[in-house]
Each structure stands twice: as C-alpha cells, then as structure tokens.
C-alpha cells in the first residue's frame, strides 16, 4: 500500500482481505482499515487514498469510501473537499479500544433495530421520526439506518413509512427457510458442472479465521451474517447453475433477519465456523460427497439451534 506521505514505506498486510468480503458492512471494514493503518505507523496529516486501499483490500471504491467516511465522522480522519482523507494523528497512536467503540456504534444501532423487530417491539411500518425518537438519534442518522435496512432487504420505503418484511420475523418462516435450504444446498456439490476455485476457498477460510480472532466489539451480528452468506453463495457459484445460485442468493437475503439473534450466540458462531471450515476441507480434497453430507449436517444443526433459540 502506498500512502502519499514523505519517506514512508508501508508494509503489506499480514493477510490480504478477501475479495469475497467486498460487501461487508462498513464497520468491520473500517476496523480492518484502522488496524492496517496502525501497523503502517503513518504520521499525522498523511493522505489516505481510496485507490491504494482498494488495491490493498481487494474491494470496490464504494465500501472503501463508506468506511473512510465513517472514520471521518468519528474523528480519526479529516475529509478535505476535492482532496480526500487525511490522518488527524499518528496512526500508531490510535487507541484500539476507543476505535472499537467508535466504529462499531453504527453497527450496534443496526443490530438493536433488527433485534427489536424480531422481538416484536417495532411495528410492521415505521417512520424515520419514530425511529429517531425511540433510539434517541438524529433524523439524518435514522434515515441512514433505514437506507441500510433497505439495502439488506429487511425493509422497504412505502407510502406511510418504511415497511418491514412481515414474513421475515416468524418461527414458521424460519422453519420454512431451513427446509428449503436443506432441499437445495446439499445438492449443489453433486451438480455435474460443479467446479471449485482454490483461491476463493483459501480467501473464504481466511475470512472465517479472521472473524473468529476478532474482538467482541468488532465481531458484530451483521458481520457474522455476511461471512455466513458469502460462504453459501460461494458454494452456489461453484455449482455453475444459475437457478441454484439465484435461489441461494435470494434465500440469503430473506433469512438474514430470521437468524440475526443466532449471530450473538458465540458458541454457536464458533460451531458453524468450524462446520464451514470442514466443508472447505472436503472441497479442497475434491470429496464432493463428503462436502454434500457435511453441508446437510450443518444445515440440520443450524435449524436445531434456531428452534432452541426460539423456545428460550
């Protein structure tokens, strides 16, 4: 990475961020950028360019721009019109605990809203003003959160406010989701056109290991969902069948809110991460039958955990 600052040579990151992580939420990406900058030990005033971060993290400009804007909002960077972003202090002096608190605030609010919706606290339809009052935030931030919910397919703007998808918050919907996935996903490794990409598997493995190593503040439910969804969509892409792939991608969007609470259960998170890693091992060994069986077992375990959570 080449940051525009005199006499400064930046080290390469220890693990190159995965291309599969391109659509991770801005908070985990912001946290990763902060860790990267701390390691680089840049002086205050150093210019941090979107282009160099795009190359370093293997993602598009849009998530990088959002991450830098979030860091600017929290005082770590300064945004200068038509010039870009600059460090407000020496990057090695960033306090990790303070950074963690700042950059996860937005994700925490998203998590609270999703959890409250699951618990029936929020109605089917809500306005930005109501959201601002309930969570004691500004209307601008409330509209931003509603936009994020819309991007994730959780809610949609309507005539009388923002409408939550009512089908995404019932126990029966969760049961139906797992039944559908159990019928579809284990069949994908057995498709005649199934072909793996070893590089994508390695990057996916790194994403899982990095997620497990994160501090509790960085390891949000929203981030966990992205890691989970990317894994299943990667396998669907390996199937080289557009119908299976489209079905998995659509189901991932629909199931997000249903399974949100499970991502706060760290023992279960560790369990599904290890199950994912075992499936990746089977794929790397070109044992498609084993991968199919492990995938079926993984979905069965996830369904059982969901029932236990719902009954609690």
Across the chain, which has 312 residues, the per-10-residue mean pLDDT values are: 38 34 45 80 89 80 81 82 88 67 61 75 87 87 80 77 71 80 96 94 90 71 80 94 90 70 73 95 97 96 79 58
| Fold of the domain built from segment(s) 19-102 | Arc Repressor Mutant, subunit A (1.10.10)
CA neighbor of 247 nearest in space, from 294, 161, 167, 180: 180
Backbone angles phi, psi at 44, to 5 degrees: -60, 140
For residue 5, what pLDDT is reported? 39
Indicate whether this model's pTM tops 0.75: no
Domain ranges of the chain: 19-102, 121-166, 169-311
Domains 19-102 and 169-311 share a fold: no
| Distance in angstroms (rounded) separating the CA atoms of residues 116 and 143 | 17
Superfamily of 169-311 according to CATH: GntR ligand-binding domain-like (1.20.120.530)
Number of alpha helices (DSSP H) and beta strands (DSSP E) in the chain: 13, 6
Closest CA to 119 of 272, 298, 264, 304: 264
- pLDDT the model gives residue 140: 82
d(CA 211, CA 220): 10
């Amino acid at each position: 990475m080449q940051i525009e600052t005199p006499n400064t040579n930046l080290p390469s990151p220890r693990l190159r961020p995965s291309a599969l992580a391109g659509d991770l939420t801005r908070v985990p990406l912001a946290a990763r950028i902060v860790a990267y900058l701390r390691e680089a030990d840049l002086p205050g005033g150093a210019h941090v360019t979107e282009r160099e971060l795009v190359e370093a993290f293997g993602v598009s400009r849009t998530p990088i721009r959002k991450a830098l804007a979030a860091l600017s909002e929290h005082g770590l960077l300064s945004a200068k019109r038509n010039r870009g972003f600059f460090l407000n202090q020496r990057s090695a002096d960033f306090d990790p605990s303070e950074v963690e608190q700042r950059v996860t605030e937005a994700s925490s609010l998203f998590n609270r809203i999703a959890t409250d919706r699951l618990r029936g606290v929020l109605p089917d339809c809500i306005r930005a003003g109501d959201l601002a009052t309930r969570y004691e935030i500004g209307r601008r931030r409330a509209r931003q959160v509603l936009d994020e919910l819309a991007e994730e397919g959780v809610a949609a703007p309507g005539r009388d406010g923002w409408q939550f998808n009512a089908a995404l918050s019932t126990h029966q919907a969760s049961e139906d989701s797992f039944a559908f996935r159990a019928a579809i996903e284990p069949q994908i490794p057995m498709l005649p056109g199934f072909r793996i990409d070893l590089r994508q598997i390695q990057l996916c493995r790194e994403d899982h290991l990095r997620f497990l190593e994160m501090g509790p503040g960085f390891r949000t439910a929203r981030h966990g969902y992205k890691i989970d969804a990317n894994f299943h969509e990667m396998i669907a892409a390996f199937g080289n069948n557009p119908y299976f792939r489209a079905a998995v991608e659509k189901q991932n969007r629909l199931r997000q809110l249903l399974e949100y609470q499970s991502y706060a259960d760290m023992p279960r998170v560790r369990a599904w991460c290890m199950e994912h890693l075992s499936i990746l091992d089977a794929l790397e060994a070109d044992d498609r039958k084993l991968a199919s069986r492990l995938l079926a077992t993984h979905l069965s375990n996830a369904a059982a955990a969901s029932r236990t959570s719902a009954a609690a």
